[in-house]
Amino acid sequence: MITDGVAELVTGPWALAVMSLLVLGDAFFVVVPGEIAVTALGALSISTGAPPLWSVVLCAAAAAMTGDLLCYAIGRWAGIDRWRWMRAERVQRAQRWARGRLESGTTVVLFTARFIPFARLAINLVAGATRIPLPRYCALVALAATGWAAYQSAIGALIAAVLPGGPVVAIVVSVICAVAIGALIDLALRHRARRKMSSPSDPASG
């Protein structure tokens, strides 16, 4: 059956490797579905028993941390305006946002940036360019990556635990939920940004 073939494919030895590559790519390209891959394997882990949930979390965290540190290294070596794509308006806005957040506190922004398009890339590039001490940054990135990996895989695991219908149904529903959660977070952040822009910036404007 088709469903059996799909289940066999995603439970094979390459499932964790493919997921890790997607998570790594997500550090550089926002269109890469790293979150969706982690959520799907979290669902698969509960519905079929393979791969083990701990291995999903571990591999996703390691790949996320590796991607963050590579972006940090690029920022430290090349700065934040050497290449044309770095000078794009959207990237520049994200970098200005990242610089302000890093100046106010590094720990919180590393956790929250994973849920904002372009923010993860901008935060890591700016962190490297401003030469935040690497040992401290590694420790914070490790915590943030592990928390993110556990959260994303838990979404899929929870759905698979309560939803009947087998692994394919669990994967499809968990992916839909992951996309919906991401869209809601993005919508809330956009609404907050619009409210901030529309509020008076100085006493004279009111």
Spatial distance between the Cα atoms of 75 and 68, rounded to a whole number of angstroms = 11
User: What's the pTM value of the predicted model, to 2 decimals?
Assistant: 0.73
Spatial distance between the Cα atoms of 150 and 53, rounded to a whole number of angstroms = 9
> 171 is written with which tokens?
């994967």
pLDDT confidence of residue 178:
65
pLDDT confidence of residue 202:
42
- C-alpha 48 chain-centroid distance: 25
pLDDT confidence of residue 133:
82
> Quick one: pLDDT band at residue 2, thresholds 50, 70, 90?
very low
- R_g (Cα) of the chain, nearest Å: 19
Within 10 angstroms of residue 93's Cβ, the number of other Cβ atoms is: 12
190-198 average pLDDT score: 62
Spatial distance between the Cα atoms of 73 and 77, rounded to a whole number of angstroms = 6
Spatial distance between the Cα atoms of 195 and 120, rounded to a whole number of angstroms = 23
Which comes out higher in pLDDT, residue 149 or 29? Answer: 149
CA distances from 101 to 68, 76, 94, 122, 155 (A): 17, 18, 10, 11, 28
Spatial distance between the Cα atoms of 43 and 16, rounded to a whole number of angstroms = 13
> Quick one: pLDDT band at residue 201, thresholds 50, 70, 90?
very low
- 188-196 contacts: CB < 8 A, separation 24 or more? 189/115, 189/116
What is the length of the chain?
A: 206
Within 10 angstroms of residue 194's Cβ, the number of other Cβ atoms is: 10
The DSSP output letter for 33 is -
CA distances from 111 to 140, 149, 173 (A): 9, 11, 25
pLDDT confidence of residue 59:
96
Residue 79 in this model has a pLDDT that exceeds 50: yes
Show me where the domains of the chain are located: 2-78+133-190
